[in-house]
Chain A
């Protein structure tokens, strides 16, 4: 198994088809010698390649169970999407209990922190002076997309920590104090719906080191948890959970919990690209807040979930209806924590330094002219048989010395003559 960014490739299963290559929104994938290859500099960890693979060759990289043994005490912090996975009859506390029973010492709830962060973002929006609109940092693939494709939008990212990182920080402090242990004896693990959140632990943005020690996917926990739930169906009341925070499991949830309603919610890489292009063109300056998710329905459609997203959404709505509470967080307290910098990111998010162009303008012009000339020779079928996702990208690869014209089967056929 070779690890490439947030995904690993099972080379024994990869047949070298081009499904992942064509699905990649940033054209980071090529197929070389019948194997998938990812350019780590261009990958945004969206996990589209995991979804696209019909041969089960592309997997999210997660922690191994042996990792848990390194710690004296282990705490699981699941994404709120986990409660949408087992149908509406299993309450969040039952799901949490089943999670702990499968390898952890304790469970820590993130839904409260979600509502607190909503309030903190409200406070940030009323204090900050733009540039507008501000963009949520909840989805790590969105952050990577902005860093790689939209560096001009970096100042739009909100420098408020994500609920998951804050929850991990608080949980470590809490358990170390109550158990009389050193903070590093406590292992804090995220239970993730997607590969991007996994990668945000390995390579965090806005902080030097993640507060998590590792992550497991909801998909890998699902089977054992379902067995536990069925063997121990005793219902538990769910009023400990924060309904507004649970809403973060799907798109629109983050904005629905905010006081500031001058926001918009956008999902899916196609629509997100459209909105970001629009912001770059100077539009949407009258919008305060943009909630953006790379997955089509927000986290509930993460590629490491089992339940289909429509059923999952319905389950979430049923849980919320049962909890039906309004805000449960003391607003003034959050404001004072905000002033005390509790929510602040440690590091400023910076656009990656772009290597100075080695090419002169004249050279760049010649390269572009050469690209147009090459495209005249190519079939424009975007069949990807050459290993690049489309003819334009293939032409760019040729000019970068990473492919040769004869890699195109149509060109080769022509060369062989009639």
Chain B
């Protein structure tokens, strides 16, 4: 999958603590996917993942780039942030685990469902993190093999 040619790439930026524009990057990616004529199920699944990933950056990191990549077989998203990184990835992947502050919880976040939600709504999910530097998420939804579309 990683060797596949990238047919299209578009980048979106996310700033940490920018709650005011929370969800804007996910919305822009969704508009791009609609414009590209992707099917509704793919758009829905990736939009759920993108929103969670974007809010993670806003809550915990300093800034990030969200890349939408299209390959012949999949729609891929890479979210690479500069931030504190994740000490214990296994723990972060557990449903209900969260390091959110009381203030974040008051805003309705920090239920500990972010990363598990991304994994659940996509076909592949990878996470890489270096404490003190940042975290990179890579996830994808496979395209239905339709010869007319490739």
Contacts and interface: CB of A to CB of B under 8 A. Distances in A.
Given A277-B27, A281-B23, A281-B26, A368 B40 contact: no
B149 A277 contact: no
B39 to A, nearest CB: 9
Given A359-B37, A361-B70, A152 B8 contact: no
A368 B44 contact: no
Contacts of A371: 35
Contacts of B35: 364, 368, 371
B7 interface: yes
A15 interface: no
Interface string B1-28: 0000001100000000000000100110
Contacts of B121: 282
A280 B44 contact: yes
Contacts of A359: 37
Interface residues of B, number: 21
B7 A365 contact: yes
A365 B70 contact: yes
A361 B7 contact: yes
A153 to B, nearest CB: 11
A277 B23 contact: yes
Contacts of A277: 23, 27
A362 B7 contact: yes
Contacts of A361: 7, 36-37, 70, 143, 149-150
A364 B148 CA distance: 13
B51 interface: yes
A281 B26 CA distance: 9
A280 B7 contact: no
A285 to B, nearest CB: 11
Contacts of A369: 8
B47 interface: yes
B109 to A, nearest CB: 11
B32 interface: yes
Contacts of B117: 282
A409 to B, nearest CB: 26
A357 B40 contact: no
- Which of B26, B32, B35, B121 is most buried by chain A, counting CB atoms within 10 A of its CB? B35
Nearest to B26: A281
A281 B70 contact: no
A357 B37 contact: yes
Contact of B51 (A151, A281, A360, A364): A281
B70 A152 contact: no
A365 B148 contact: no
Interface in A264-288: 277-278, 280-282
B110 to A, nearest CB: 14
B92 interface: no
Interface string B39-81: 0100010011001000000000000000000100000000000
A280 B36 contact: no
B8 A365 contact: yes
A152 B36 contact: no
Interface string A141-174: 0000000000110000000000000000000000
Contact of A364 (B26, B36, B47, B48): B36
Nearest to A354: B40
B22 to A, nearest CB: 11
B95 to A, nearest CB: 15
A376 to B, nearest CB: 15
Interface string A320-361: 000000000000000000000000000000000000010111
Nearest to B35: A368
Nearest to A362: B7
Nearest to B27: A277
Among A278, A281, A364, A371, chain B packs the most CB atoms within 10 A around the CB of A281
Contacts of B26: 281
8 contacts: A282-B117, A361-B7, A361-B70, A361-B143, A362-B7, A364-B37, A368-B35, A369-B8
Given A365-B8, A365-B70, 13 more contacts: A151-B40, A152-B44, A277-B23, A281-B23, A282-B48, A282-B51, A282-B117, A282-B121, A359-B37, A361-B70, A361-B149, A369-B8, A371-B35
